[in-house]
Each structure stands twice: as structure tokens, then as C-alpha cells.
Amino acid sequence: MSTSLRLLALNRRLPSTSLPNRLRHAARHQTRSLATNAEVPRSGWGTFAKFTAATVLGLGAYTLGSIYPPLPLTILFPRAAPAPPSDPDSAESKAYTQALEKSMLALPILEHHRSQPEAADWYETRPYLKFPEERRVNNLTSGALRGPGKLAIPPLVRARNDETEALVFVHLGRGLCGHDGIVHGGLLATLLDESLARVAIMNLPDKVGVTAKLSINYRAPTIADQFVVIKVKLEGAEGRRSQVSGRVEDLKGTLLVEATATFVQPRYAKLLNSKVLKTQMGEREQSS
């Protein structure tokens, strides 16, 4: 056989020597394809369980948000509320005010204050309660703003015997709002002015005074239809001038408004009837 024929036969036989390698590569490729194309069985309960959990959580969050809406939502989307009874002398109005009165007297913060060891250093009074009717009808807080849905009941004041400090409990109805559901800032300023005035005037020589300066800082929206506490302290008194500070808090202790004020006794004070003013503010009843 010639040399050329031998080389040709040899070249034809050489590829057969790489067959095992080719088989191994083919087997690996087929294994990868099977692994890729194989379908992993999935349980339908996993998806259903996730959907059910998400639904339950969503409904729970919606329910809680409806019952206890976050403050921003309350401000942006206030709930419509029925109007209070229009006739203050109706049976419905009387039942409404009686229920509020009962609730105020049972406030935990009031009961706690009454039970303190120094409770004897304080006294209670109700401003406007003995105010003459002919004067009450022309007074802002005891006349025009008095009634169901507004200032439905007279405030309750707990004051120190030395007149240096006072707590004023007030219910604010929904009829006192600026933005729906939020008490008007001007109304809060009025209540602060009168509450601060009571402590300030009690420390003036003739128990007569007028507001000289009132500075107010609004710290948080005041939600309507709730009880608030106005805390007042005497900061100083000299001659015909007294300085006081105060803050409005909700029953949880959240600061809503704070203020400072200066009151002065006018030079014509001796010409005024201070007895009427004391009756309006609520006097300490003298023990017999």
C-alpha cells in the first residue's frame, strides 16, 4: 500500500478516538436541558394563602383606619356629623347636657386630682353658673357660645387657695369649628384669655383687670367634641400688673396650645363693680 493511502486511512480512524469525549459533552448538555425544562411542581395553596393573608391585613387596616383614623386623614377628610339639638330647652338638649355634665365629673384626671394629698389646698367653682341672666345673654362665652354642640356646660375650675394656679375643664362641641372637625383657633384664644384672666385678676389689688398682651402658640390641631384641660399658672404680680402662662391639653396630656399674657388693672378700677366680675369668673365659696 502506498504511503498516501496509509495516511488517508489513518486520518479516517483518528476521529473515532475522540468519541468518549463527545459522548460526555452530549450527556452533560442533555442533563442541563432536562434540568432547565423540567417543571417544578408548585402548590396552589401557597399563592392562595398569601392572597388570603393580604386580604385579611388590608381589611383589618381599613377597619382600624375607619374607627381610629390618623390625624392627617381626619383633617383632610372630616366625617360628617349630625347637628346638635337646635332648641336648648328641649328634652333632647337637656339629656345631652346632662350626659356631658356626668362625663365631666367622672373624668379620670379630675378624680385623680381630687384624690391627691394636697387636694385640700385647692377649691372648685363653676364660672357663669351664678351669672345674672340679664348679663349672661350678652356675654360671649356664657351667652352666644353656650348651648348644645358649642360650650354646652359651664367649665369646671379647680384653683389653688392662694390663686397662683388653676385647672379649667371644658368641653368643646362640634359647633365651634373653623375647619370641619377642628376647633377654631380664635375660640381657643378666647378660652385661654378668660382662663388666664381669672388667675391674673385674682392677683390684682382690686380684682379688676384687662388684657394688655396675649401671645399664643398653636402646637397641634384641637379635635372637636372632646374635653380639654386648660392649665394656668401665675408667673408674677406687682402693683397693677400680673403675668400668667397657660396651656391647653387633651385628656392624654398632648399639648395643643400654649400662651402667655399680661393683665393690668385700669386706673378707673375702683369705679367698677368687681362683685359682678367675681361672680362671672366663679368665686370661692366661703365656709360658714
Q: Can you give the pLDDT at residue 56?
A: 75
Q: Can you give the pLDDT at residue 45?
A: 60
Does 172 share its domain with 128?
yes
Does 108 share its domain with 50?
no
Q: Can you give the pLDDT at residue 243?
A: 98
> Do the beta carbons of residue 245 and residue 236 sit within 8 Å?
no
Whether residue 10 lies inside any domain: the answer is: no
Residue 82 is given by DSSP the state P
Buried b (16+ CB within 10 A) or exposed e, 69-103: eeeeebeeebeeeeebbeebeeeebeebbeebeee
Phi, psi for residue 225 in degrees, rounded to 5: 65, 50
Q: Which domain holds residue 49?
A: 44-76
Q: Can you give the pLDDT at residue 130?
A: 80
Helix, strand, coil percentages, rounded to 5, for the chain: 45, 25, 30
Edge-to-edge strand order for the sheet containing 241-250? 122-125, 156-160, 165-172, 226-238, 241-250, 255-264, 210-218
| DSSP-derived pairing of the beta strands 156-160 and 165-172 | antiparallel
Does 146 share its domain with 231?
yes
Does 55 share its domain with 101?
no
Q: Can you give the pLDDT at residue 12?
A: 52
Does 68 share its domain with 162?
no
Domain count, the chain: 2
Whether residue 192 lies inside any domain: the answer is: yes
Does 50 share its domain with 103?
no
Whether residue 31 lies inside any domain: the answer is: no
Q: Can you give the pLDDT at residue 17?
A: 46
Whether residue 30 lies inside any domain: the answer is: no
Angle of helix 185-201 relative to helix 274-281, nearest 10 degrees? Answer: 120
Measured distance CA(88)–CA(145) in Å, rounded? 12
> Do the beta carbons of residue 127 and residue 157 sit within 8 Å?
yes
Measured distance CA(197)–CA(182) in Å, rounded? 25
**Rounded to two decimals, what is the model's pTM?**
0.72
Whether residue 113 lies inside any domain: the answer is: yes
Secondary structure element (H or E) that encloses residue 243, with its range:
strand 241-250
Does 258 share its domain with 126?
yes
Whether residue 131 lies inside any domain: the answer is: yes
Q: Can you give the pLDDT at residue 2?
A: 52
Q: What is the pLDDT along the chain (288 residues), one digit of tens a residue?
A: 555 555 445 455 544 445 455 555 555 655 555 445 545 555 556 777 777 777 777 776 666 555 555 656 565 666 666 666 677 778 888 899 999 999 999 999 999 999 999 999 999 999 888 878 888 888 899 888 998 999 999 999 999 999 999 999 999 999 999 988 999 999 999 999 999 999 999 999 989 999 999 999 999 999 999 999 999 999 999 999 999 999 999 999 999 999 999 999 998 877 776 666 666 677 776 654
Q: Can you give the pLDDT at residue 29?
A: 56
Q: Can you give the pLDDT at residue 7?
A: 46
Domain of residue 274, CATH code: 3.10.129.10
Does 122 share its domain with 259?
yes
Residue with cell 402662662: 245
